[in-house]
Amino acid sequence: MLKNYLLVAFRNLSKNKAFSFINIVGLAIGMAACLLILQYVSFELSFDNFHAKKDRIYRINQDRYNNGKLSTQWAGGAFAPGSAFKAVLPEIEDFVKIVGAGQLLANYKDQKMVIKNNYFASPSIFNIFSFPFISGDPKTALREPNTVVISEEVAQTLFRNANPVGQTLIVNNDKPLKITGVMKNIPANSHMKFDFLQSYNTLLKDNPPNKDFNLDNAWLNDGCTTYLLLRPGVDSKVLERKFIPIVKKVYDGYKGSGEGGVYTLQSVQSIHLYSNRMIEFQPNGDGKSVYLLLGIAIFVIIIAWINYINLATARGIGRAKEVGVRKTLGSAKGQLIAQFMLEAMLLNGLAIILALVFILICLPVFSRVSGLQMEFAMFTRPIFWGSLLGIFILGSFFSGFYPAIVLSSFRPVEVMKGKILASPKGVVLRKAMVVFQFAASIFLLIGSLTVFRQLTYMQNQKLGIKIDQTLVIKPPLVKVDSFYRSMSTFKQEVLAQSAVKSVTVSTTVPGEPVFWNAGGIKLTTADQTQGKQYRIIGGDYDYLTAYDQKLIAGRKFSKDYGDEPHSVVFNKKAAEQIGFNKPEDALGKKIDFWGQVYTIVGVVDNFHQQSLRDAYDAIIFRCIPDVRGSVSVKISSTNITQTVADLKKTWATFFPGDQFDYFFLDQHFNEQYKADQRFGQVFGVFTGIAIFVACLGLFGLVSYTIVQRTKEIGIRKVLGATVNSILTLLYKDFAALVVISFVISAPLAWYAISRWLQTYAFRIDIGPLLFFIPFTVVMVIAFATVSYLSVKAALTNPVKSLKTE
């Protein structure tokens, strides 16, 4: 029996080659798209799942307040909470403190390496997190000062095949560090990336406590990321509430300063998708975007299954006599259902094979578009084959069950007489499925257009500063006898080059977060409760001029004024925050900056320090002539290669043995939008796939309709109907379906894009074009699809049409 079923199934596939091809290709495209998205989503959801104690690991998040107003949300907050909470709360089993240490230059004999992922960490890091060691003892590796654990990659670069444990590295040409361990490279699905872990005791040794300050117990100094390991069965929300009295007691000691803090716990597994705070280890993902892509995957595969249903029922009329003959010869309904379900399984099986071919072809392109390095090794993962099997089983059932029921329900007597009428319920269901397809397509198209327009808006919006033709050299790492003298002479030498327009040094550059945050800043005439938090950018005399900051009151920094290091320039937002609605009113006013007095000499307009996702910051510029930081060089657009070579040569003269690591600022600034761009590209590609597959479904419904109305079309032509009138008749029904789809999808799309745009401080307005363009595009595509078969039916000889029954 099974052999007979398979024979009939293959015979039907070969008999109706066009419909079989459309069915298989539509299902294959839907399956391939769904599988690719599922692999991306599964990777994003897998972050930090490899830690053995993942269910008990939580990060302490800090919300910093000034006078009751939220000022900054930190991932790396105060240094004190971990040890302070552990001392009084038995629910905490262990804690670890991790502090960024910046770039460094590591030397071992004649080998050098610039290391970026460099941190201080307390010894318990390897007890809490599952970072396997290749050599060394994880329990003792970070106990002593001046010790370091390096990654497998660093070990291979500096030591080749030798065992590094016990060897000594020289850091920045002046600091020895003993290697006590080598750990495996951090997995790609980790929210933290380490290549170089120095002991936390090294940091404390370099910053010894005194009678006024102890870094390890500091509550107002930020930059320390703390993780807790809770004891089994501890409720994190209950534990959070126990933080409140501890924190209140601490901040009561700072009464009058206006400082306040709220400390909450976030599970390590949720950080990658649901955290966007200051001092994250790296840019995190976006949970909303991931689940939106998962929704697209579901839409695409459902649309593909609906196509099969519509096409199968559309061709069912042609198999009515087959069903009638089978029933007349004694076939039971169950046997017919089994026959059609087997055909669905065969078709889905062939589609799966074709989908695998599509994935093999498209995998490199998808990896490039998504930014996720998806290798062919994905075919060896159980989750891939589990997804594949699930799609096959669900697809075979959902796409095959309804057509099997419909086709097996034909009555033999009516079939043999040629009286086959479409069930009204069946017609409504098929139209409803097409409405769903196009509602999903319009929804996705509105979303894709919104993402594209928002990205275009952000990239074309004026920043309030000029960053074009700016080459930024990263700060020198190796110490020199006199940094100020070396940098000043370097600037003079570089400015003598005809291709260089300006040179400035600063603590940060546009496109990077301002990590220098200062709370408690106030006017000298105000009381302590008026202190607020500001972002601080330190720069030399030329910084504001080099970036062409727009001056709206007062002046910029200048060497012509003798006491410039005690002068500050505010941006407009900072001036308003300290109490001046008119910028000129701020001029000459004195501020208390951590016990030192500075004079406001100028106010510049607001500008975008980071992407347009963020609101304007309240920024204070300080003049620091000997500032150590990034070097920004404005250069001419002609012969850039030679200019870079000249800069490198001059740099080597004044900073011998140091790195010459540079980037172009406009490209660096736009790197902030890379995740949004990738999301937009993935969204757009799969929206196009969804629309294409939906058109195949419409093709099926049009085919079914024309088969049902062939005789009607013939009679209308005999009675004098023109081709245009027949086309209008057919268009009218399908246009109504698209309109209904739009009415359903538009409100849902408006709600979704409104929520998405709220994550951007600067965003586009939701206008009618965002809805009109997708509606028009889908309507045109639908009409083109309908026209292909409708014109053919309208031009058919009516004599031939009237013979169909």
Dist. CA 663–CA 309, nearest whole Å: 55
Dist. CA 414–CA 402, nearest whole Å: 21
Which range is most confident: 90-94, 309-313, 326-330? 90-94
Dist. CA 26–CA 304, nearest whole Å: 6
Q: Name which of 574, 530, 523, 537 is nearest 553 in CA terms.
A: 574
Higher pLDDT, 425 or 286: 286
Whether residue 257 has pLDDT greater than 70? no
pLDDT at 383: 75
Tens of pLDDT, residues 17-35: 767 777 888 889 989 988 8
Where residue 294 falls among pLDDT bands split at 50, 70, 90? Answer: confident
**Concatenated DSSP letters of 147-185:** EEEEEHHHHHHHHTTS--TT-EEEETTTEEEEEEEEEPP
Amino acid identity of residue 396, one-letter, is S
Average pLDDT over residues 271-277: 93
Average pLDDT over residues 355-375: 79
Tens of pLDDT, residues 317-331: 556 666 666 666 666
Dist. CA 758–CA 568, nearest whole Å: 34
Average pLDDT over residues 408-413: 60
Angle at CA of residue 427, ends 424 and 429, nearest 5°: 110
Whether residue 422 has pLDDT greater than 60? no
Whether residue 425 has pLDDT greater than 60? no
Dist. CA 33–CA 304, nearest whole Å: 10
pLDDT at 202: 96
Report the 10 Å Cβ neighbour count for 21. 11
Dist. CA 506–CA 113, nearest whole Å: 25
Dist. CA 453–CA 763, nearest whole Å: 9
Average pLDDT over residues 420-443: 74
pLDDT at 450: 93
By CB neighbour count within 10 A (0-12 exposed, 13-18 middle, 19+ buried), where does 41 fall? middle
What separation, in Å, do the N-terminal and C-terminal C-alpha atoms of the chain show? 33
pLDDT at 531: 83
pLDDT at 330: 64
pLDDT at 325: 64
Q: Name which of 621, 377, 529, 636 is nearest 69 in CA terms.
A: 529
Report the 10 Å Cβ neighbour count for 765. 8
Higher pLDDT, 139 or 307: 139
pLDDT at 437: 83
Report the 10 Å Cβ neighbour count for 644. 17
Query: Do the beta carbons of residue 431 and residue 737 sit within 8 Å?
Result: yes
Average pLDDT over residues 209-224: 89
Average pLDDT over residues 648-660: 90
Which range is most confident: 300-304, 309-313, 367-371, 728-732? 300-304
Average pLDDT over residues 284-306: 86
Tens of pLDDT, residues 469-497: 999 999 988 877 778 888 999 999 999 99
pLDDT at 464: 94
pLDDT at 315: 63
Tens of pLDDT, residues 702-747: 776 776 677 777 787 777 777 788 778 778 877 888 899 999 999 9
Which of the residue ranges 110-124, 395-409, 640-654 would you say has the lowest mean pLDDT?
Answer: 395-409
Average pLDDT over residues 677-686: 84
Which of the residue ranges 132-136, 459-463, 787-791 would you say has the lowest mean pLDDT?
Answer: 787-791
Q: Name which of 415, 294, 272, 376 is nearest 42 in CA terms.
A: 294
Whether residue 154 has pLDDT greater than 80? yes
Average pLDDT over residues 604-622: 93
Phi then psi for 446, rounded to 5 degrees?
Answer: -60, -45
**Helix, strand or coil for residue 262?**
strand
Positive/negative CA dihedral, 335, 338, 342, 348 = positive
Dist. CA 359–CA 28, nearest whole Å: 10
**What is the rounded average pLDDT for all residues in the chain?**
86
Average pLDDT over residues 59-86: 91
Query: Do the beta carbons of residue 96 and residue 226 sit within 8 Å?
Result: yes
Query: Do the beta carbons of residue 99 and residue 224 sit within 8 Å?
Result: yes
Which of the residue ranges 57-71, 424-438, 662-676 would you say has the lowest mean pLDDT?
Answer: 424-438
Residues composing the chain: 805
* Cα distances (angstroms) measured from residue 411 to each of 405, 458, 797: 12, 63, 31
Dist. CA 283–CA 103, nearest whole Å: 18
Cα 1 to chain centroid, rounded: 52
Question: In the structure encoding, which two tokens stand for residue 584, read together?
Answer: 């000129």
Which of the residue ranges 156-170, 371-385, 489-503, 762-776 would you say has the lowest mean pLDDT?
Answer: 371-385
Tens of pLDDT, residues 529-582: 788 889 999 999 999 999 999 999 999 999 888 777 899 999 999 999 999 999
Whether residue 277 has pLDDT greater than 70? yes
Which of the residue ranges 335-339, 340-344, 443-447 would you say has the lowest mean pLDDT?
Answer: 335-339
pLDDT at 99: 96
Cα-Cα-Cα-Cα torsion 675, 676, 677, 681, nearest 10 degrees, comes to 100
Amino acid identity of residue 511, one-letter, is G
Sequence-ordered list of residues with C-beta below 8 angstroms from that of 249, at least 6 positions apart, any chain: none
Which of the residue ranges 30-39, 79-88, 622-631 would you say has the lowest mean pLDDT?
Answer: 30-39
**Share of residues in the chain with pLDDT > 70 (%):** 87
Dist. CA 300–CA 306, nearest whole Å: 10
